[in-house]
Amino acid sequence: MNTNTPSHTPPQSLHPFNGTPDQIVASDKSIQNAHKALLNVIVAKNTPKTATFDSILRPILLLEDASAQEKWGNFMYHRVSPYKPVREASRQASLRSDEYEVDCGMREDVFRLIDAAYATRDSQGLDEESLRLLERERRKYIHNGLLLPEGPQRLRFKEIRRRIDQLCGEAMEHLDESTAGFWAKPETLEGVLGKDIDIIDLEQGVGPEEGKESTRRDYFIAQANFANTNAALFQEIVALRDEAARMLGYPNHASLRIADKMAKTPETVDTFLRDLVERTKDGAQRDIAQLLRYKRQFCQEHDLDFDGRLYRWDRLFYDRMRKNAEFGVDDHEIAEYFPVASTIDKMLSVFARLLGLVFVRLSAEDLARLSPTGRAADVLWHDEVQILAVWDDAESGSGFCGYLYLDLFPRAGKYKQDMTLTLGPGCIAADGARHYASTALVCNLTRPSLKKPALLKHEDVVTVFHELGHAMATLCGRTRYERSLDLPQDGVEIPSAMLEHWCWDARVLARLSSHWKTGAAIPDEMVARLAGIKSLHATLGLQGSLVRPLFDLRVHTFASREDAETIDCGVLYNQIEHDTWMLSGPAVVGMGMNWGNLHLTYDHLLSGYDAGYYTYCWSEVIAADMFYSVFQQDPLSRTEGQRYRRLILERGGSRDLMGSLCEFLGRETNPEAFQRKELVSI
């Protein structure tokens, strides 16, 4: 970390995290009551003729910003609090907030004023941030059906929305509660490592890369059919989405969903995905050839027939075989070079250099001084949490940026995934004073043992650096309103996806690493083996990953209502996979196209990524363009880091993100760097 630490006290106190269940409930109700009262006042004092951004939306935004820290603090507890009653109160508060926001989004009296303010937007002299917020707010109400005439049509739309929510909830519950498994006799599990079979727990699963070919095939088919209960639900969901979109004047559901994203239209997404498919063909063929070498050798050694095909259920089996034979990367050996404490400090030092920041770890005395109660414990939800004050460095003006919380290790009741949460917004209050951001890195890293400190596997290094990238976006944001920091769904992962490239660069890894015993940096040959693993069959893997977004786009761009109601989604998915991925699938061995329902085995199309699955590969392509075009020569360039901060992080979603990216790159984005550097066959 940067040691040139400011000696002055942060200008903003820390938020308390000592709430009780009753306090959380009361706070949640108070926030909603204040919001509802403001909406009522706005409606009472304004008419469509007098409605402007300043009289309608600005007061709402200012109230939301003023209450955001308390509101998000209430919701934070259910992910991190060690106390079950507090977690449950927080969870219920979050659900009530969601319900309240749905109700607000259906207020026709407020929408009439928003719509009227939008109609006169050109005469109001609005800046880009305000105009984008006004457009987004109006679109929200329109997507809720408020432009539909009252009567049967609007009632039908509301009925569709309720039914979709119900069906998605049921389908996700089926996935969450599934106990589906695959049983196999020990003699069929050829290749399974001894550690994978626990004599105490005979139900421990094995992955698709293990076992005889027939066992792998049977496992694959079983895995593709474990969620068949959701088949009828999904068919109804996509048909209802299509009907609702057409009612709102869109040709299909994807057009509705993509309109406010970077891509803008389904046609743009379709062109993007099909271009990637074409770019993967040569490399995927080379990857298959390499894997077939190992399959041929394996078949010869085990007196098995070799038919010259690489099947879906073969890929991971021979991928692991080649990985072990040619690269021999030991995750635990690599982890020795990345102790948690020093590695995170070194990560922060990289961000300090790039972005012009200073990170100051706060002591117990600092916490007490900054606590509203004067007690350090009251600003922590758990005693393991660390808080850092974040400042601009002297060259950047020495201004305060906000607080970074670190909650790194697992415990009972804590959210199981690694994530970054915004605890308080960076925004400008009604009196013109700046409110500084707070953000938390919440992880479940392996705890220290009696013999070793806590260590990070390389995949953990990538994850933590990625999540810290989200934290830097929050801390460096300089928008007027909190809402403006939000990026479109297909842009939110681009900055952090770009930063993942730092964790594969030998220069950066040398800077981040320090062997827990000797202090030595990670050896170059070990980094080279890591790089080999990254490139191993990457093109074939990408080609396979395009199946889901292609299917997602297809089932949300039906040509007609009849298609939406009659096309078999399982057959459609299997056909797309057959046409896209160059591996041989079940159809080749006589199973036709009705062999499984892989589209039902993941929840993305039920939980907000409908017509949005493309965002994963979209982000990877743009992130690679940014890194290789700007940072590859010097990943620690302060000059480029400052440009990145100014043009991307500070603006957030207050300006068109694609425009900001083009300004950063000096041209339009393109996939050339991604293909040249990432789609490499070895």
Answer whether residue 417 shows pLDDT above 60.
Answer: yes
Residue 557 contacts residue 267 (beta carbons within 8 Å): no
Within a domain: residue 210? no
- Show the 3-state SS of 562-613: HHHHHCCHHHHHHHHHHHHCCCECHHHHCCCCCCCCHHHCCCHHHCCCCCCC
Q: What pLDDT score was predicted for residue 7?
A: 63
Q: Which of 523, 552, 578 is the last residue in one of the domains?
A: 523
DSSP single-letter state for residue 678: I
DSSP single-letter state for residue 519: -
CA neighbor of 522 nearest in space, from 353, 342, 680: 342
Strands 400-407 and 427-428: unpaired
Higher pLDDT, 174 or 627: 627
Question: What residue type is assigned to position 664 of the chain?
Answer: F
Higher pLDDT, 207 or 654: 654
CA neighbor of 626 nearest in space, from 606, 641, 604: 641
Q: What is the pTM of this model?
A: 0.93
What does the alpha-carbon distance between residue 564 and residue 568 come to, in Å, rounded to a whole number? 9
Q: Helical H runs in 248-382?
A: 253-258, 266-301, 315-326, 331-335, 340-355, 364-370
User: Residue 403: left if φ>0, alpha if ψ -120 to 50, beta else—which one?
Assistant: beta
Q: What pLDDT score was predicted for residue 1?
A: 56
β-partners of residue 360 are: 389
Answer whether residue 131 shows pLDDT above 50.
Answer: yes
Cα dihedral 207, 208, 212, 213, rounded to 10, equals: 180
User: What is the H or E stretch that residue 485 is in?
Assistant: none
Within a domain: residue 353? yes
Within a domain: residue 307? no
Answer whether residue 200 shows pLDDT above 60.
Answer: no
Model confidence at 679, pLDDT cuts 50, 70, 90, reads confident
Within a domain: residue 595? no
For residues 361-367, give the mean pLDDT: 98
Answer whether residue 217 shows pLDDT above 60.
Answer: yes
Query: The sheet that has 386-392: what strands, in order across it?
Result: 357-361, 386-392, 400-407, 437-442, 419-424
Residue 599 contacts residue 246 (beta carbons within 8 Å): no
Question: Which domain CATH number covers 391?
Answer: 3.40.390.10
Q: Give the mean pLDDT of the chain.
A: 94
Answer whether residue 196 shows pLDDT above 60.
Answer: no
C-alpha distances out from residue 161 to 143, 165, 177, 242, 665, Å: 10, 6, 24, 12, 41
Give the rounded distance of the alpha carbon of 179 from its chain centre. Answer: 26
Model confidence at 210, pLDDT cuts 50, 70, 90, reads low
Q: What pLDDT score was predicted for residue 330?
A: 86
Answer whether residue 681 shows pLDDT above 90.
Answer: no
Residue 414 contacts residue 90 (beta carbons within 8 Å): no
Residue 471 contacts residue 496 (beta carbons within 8 Å): no
Within a domain: residue 604? no
For the chain, give the percent of residues with pLDDT over 70. Answer: 95
How many folded domains does the chain comprise? 2
Within a domain: residue 419? yes
Higher pLDDT, 193 or 59: 59
How many CA atoms, within 13 angstroms, populate the side-chain half-sphere of residue 289?
8
What does the alpha-carbon distance between residue 413 and residue 396 come to, in Å, rounded to a whole number? 40
Q: Helical H runs in 329-457?
A: 331-335, 340-355, 364-370
Cα dihedral 497, 423, 418, 520, rounded to 10, equals: 70
Model confidence at 208, pLDDT cuts 50, 70, 90, reads low
Within a domain: residue 397? yes
Answer whether residue 618 shows pLDDT above 90.
Answer: yes
Question: Which domain CATH number covers 64?
Answer: 1.20.1050.40
Question: What residue type is assigned to position 381 of the chain?
Answer: W
For the chain, give the percent of residues with pLDDT over 90. Answer: 89
How does pLDDT run across 500-555, given as a tens digit for each residue? 999 999 999 999 999 999 999 999 999 999 988 888 999 999 999 999 999 999 99
Q: Which of 466, 490, 523 is the last residue in one of the domains?
A: 523
Answer whether residue 112 shows pLDDT above 90.
Answer: yes
Model confidence at 189, pLDDT cuts 50, 70, 90, reads low
CA neighbor of 517 nearest in space, from 261, 342, 673, 670: 342
Q: Which of 491, 523, 555 is the last residue in one of the domains?
A: 523
List the domain range (segments joined by +) for residue 519. Answer: 334-523
Residue 574 contacts residue 596 (beta carbons within 8 Å): yes
> In angstroms, how far is the first alpha carbon of the chain from the final one?
37
What does the alpha-carbon distance between residue 72 and residue 440 come to, in Å, rounded to a whole number? 11
Within a domain: residue 471? yes
Q: Helical H runs in 443-500?
A: 458-476, 494-499
For residues 357-375, give the mean pLDDT: 98
Model confidence at 204, pLDDT cuts 50, 70, 90, reads very low
Cβ neighbour number for residue 41 with a 10 Å cutoff:
11
Answer whether residue 205 shows pLDDT above 90.
Answer: no
Model confidence at 560, pLDDT cuts 50, 70, 90, reads very high
